[in-house]
Chain A
Amino acid sequence: MSEEEQRAWVEAARRGDEKAFAQIFNHYHMHFFHLVCHLIGDADEAEDVVQQTFIKAFRSLQHMRDPGSLDSWLRRILYTTTMDLLRGRKRRRETSLDDTLRQRHVRPLSPERDVLLQEQVQLVQEALRQMPPRYRAYIILREFEGLTYEEMAETLGEPITTVRVALFRARERLREILRQLGGEDVL
């Protein structure tokens, strides 16, 4: 979406235009949900994070400095909310990426996809699960979200040089875990 469109939505929402809120929500919520599912591995919690993100965002829209940067502004709120949740989780239960496979939430794999691929998916999910959340975030923001290092730095509030090194370490860690899990095929 263009900067101009983002600006128009934000300005309409600031004027109290309810349609603009709905438009912003409709444009982002699905993708945000997927992103948070990958980051925290729980569909219900991911919904809570997305819900909180939009509530926070809509409430603080007036304080947004550059209306043309709605994308990155929302993503920063989403990321902070996600990390708050992870911090508050206190390991009260295993963070299971399997949860995202629950029927209610997940598009089933098409029949053509073979058992091998199914296994591969499970391996990658398990490996991601075993990663420290922060490392997982580097991988997901880069590979799933497709952010540039600059965008990652902005989202994470870190210098680009840190992003570069941390992403490399995260990749190496993921490979190591996959090797331990016997996932040489994926590598």
Chain B
Amino acid sequence: MKHEDWRLLVSAYCDGEVTPEERMRVEAHLAECAECVQALESYRRLGRAIRALPQGTPSRTLWVRVQEGLARPARPLWWRLLPAASVAAVLLMAVVVGLLLRPAPSGPAAPRALEAEQGIQAEATSPALQAPPIAPASPSAATKDYLALVPSPPPCPGIPLALEVVAISARSEAELPAPRLSGLVYDEAGRPLSGLILVISGTTGWHGSTTTASDGTFSLSLPAAGTYRLVLALAPEAKAAAGFREERERLYRLILPDGSACQTWQMEGLPTLAIGPQQEVSLTLRVRP
């Protein structure tokens, strides 16, 4: 047997991948070949060295990015996996997006929200910064300020990005196929923030996510009426563009009901939203680094 053939057997022997017969032969050979013993030791040391290599940690937005990727295409499997009712809702979403894009005054909202909306318009430097127009509500439509702002998540130490809810308006209309959340995110200087990932989680876990467009707007359909929590994640590109530094962010672990945790970033002051059936909510957020 050639030298290299022995060495090959030694390598397999090192991994315990030899037949009993081969094992006997290798062991007999090792008893008389110092070079092969050295090679065996060397293979083992290399293995240990590789297992001892330092290991990093993936970024905390990875799960959010996976969800984003799944939500992106028109009809990914993710949606096909959902119950038929949800699929129908998603298909109808396009109709609502069309409605939303039609320029129109926003529906009546609570005085506080109205004031805030006026504030935005005063601060806005371009029309794109205004809150996304909401489909015209006929006077007879049951439009009401349904939305309730439940206390924000408990504050925790550190310097977070402050997130301010500037305006919230809600509109309830019979023809809306599913509750939706749409809005605008901009920074303190009034620049729209693009590339921000918004994740909606409800009591049963993750519900959907979207990314703000270049004009800072976003729109997201929700599977059912209920109470949701809004989580914001910054994509690395958005971080760079907005000049955010990582230490300004605060990590929240979003604990899913089954006890598993989804790591994500959350800014302070993000609201929990109660959304009624067939309701559309418009939310304007200002991020202050």
Residues of A within 8 A of B (CB): 13-16, 18-19, 22-23, 25-26, 29-30, 33-34, 37-38, 43, 46-47, 50-52, 54-55, 58-62, 100-102, 104-109, 117, 120-121, 124-125, 128, 139-140, 142-144, 148-149, 164-165, 167-168, 171-172, 174-175, 178, 186-187
Q: Fill in one digit per residue for B135-158: 1 if any A CB lies within 8 Å of its CB, else 0.
A: 000000000000000000000000
B51 in contact (CB, < 8 A): yes
Contacts of A22 in B (CB 8 A): 63, 205-206, 256, 260, 262
Name A102's closest neighbour in chain B (CB-CB): B56
Name A54's closest neighbour in chain B (CB-CB): B66
Q: A50 and B260: CB pair below 8 A? A: no
Q: B53 and A16: CB pair below 8 A? A: no
Q: B258 and A16: CB pair below 8 A? A: no
Contacts of A60 in B (CB 8 A): 77
Q: A171 and B11: CB pair below 8 A? A: yes
In the complex, what distance in Å separates the CA atom of A174 from the CA atom of B58? 27
Q: B256 and A59: CB pair below 8 A? A: no
In the complex, what distance in Å separates the CA atom of A101 from the CA atom of B256? 32
B76 in contact (CB, < 8 A): yes
Q: A18-B206, A34-B56, A37-B55 are in contact. Are A50 and B70 (CB under 8 A)?
A: no
Contacts of B43 in A (CB 8 A): 171
Q: B55 and A19: CB pair below 8 A? A: no
Please report whether the interface of chain A is mostly helix, strand, loop or mixed according to DSSP.
helix
Contacts of A171 in B (CB 8 A): 11, 43, 46
Contacts of A50 in B (CB 8 A): 58, 62
B122 in contact (CB, < 8 A): no
Interface size class of B (residues with CB under 8 A): 35 or more
Closest 3 CB pairs of A and B: A105-B56, A168-B11, A59-B77
In the complex, what distance in Å separates the CA atom of A105 from the CA atom of B261? 20
Contacts of A142 in B (CB 8 A): 15, 47
5 residue pairs of the A-B complex, CB under 8 angstroms, read A59-B76, A124-B50, A148-B15, A167-B15, A172-B7
B191 in contact (CB, < 8 A): no
Q: B56 and A58: CB pair below 8 A? A: no
Q: Fill in one digit per residue for B39-59: 1 if any A CB lies within 8 Å of its CB, else 0.
A: 000110111011111111111
Q: Can you name 16 extra interface pairs (CB under 8 A) apart from A18-B206, A33-B56, A33-B58?
A: A13-B81, A18-B207, A50-B58, A52-B69, A104-B246, A105-B57, A106-B54, A106-B55, A106-B57, A107-B56, A139-B50, A149-B12, A168-B11, A171-B11, A175-B46, A186-B45
Contacts of A108 in B (CB 8 A): 54
Name B258's closest neighbour in chain A (CB-CB): A19
Closest Cβ–Cβ distance, residue A23 to chain B (whole Å): 5
B34 in contact (CB, < 8 A): no
In the complex, what distance in Å separates the CA atom of A18 from the CA atom of B49? 39
Name B263's closest neighbour in chain A (CB-CB): A26
Q: A51 and B257: CB pair below 8 A? A: no
Q: B260 and A26: CB pair below 8 A? A: yes
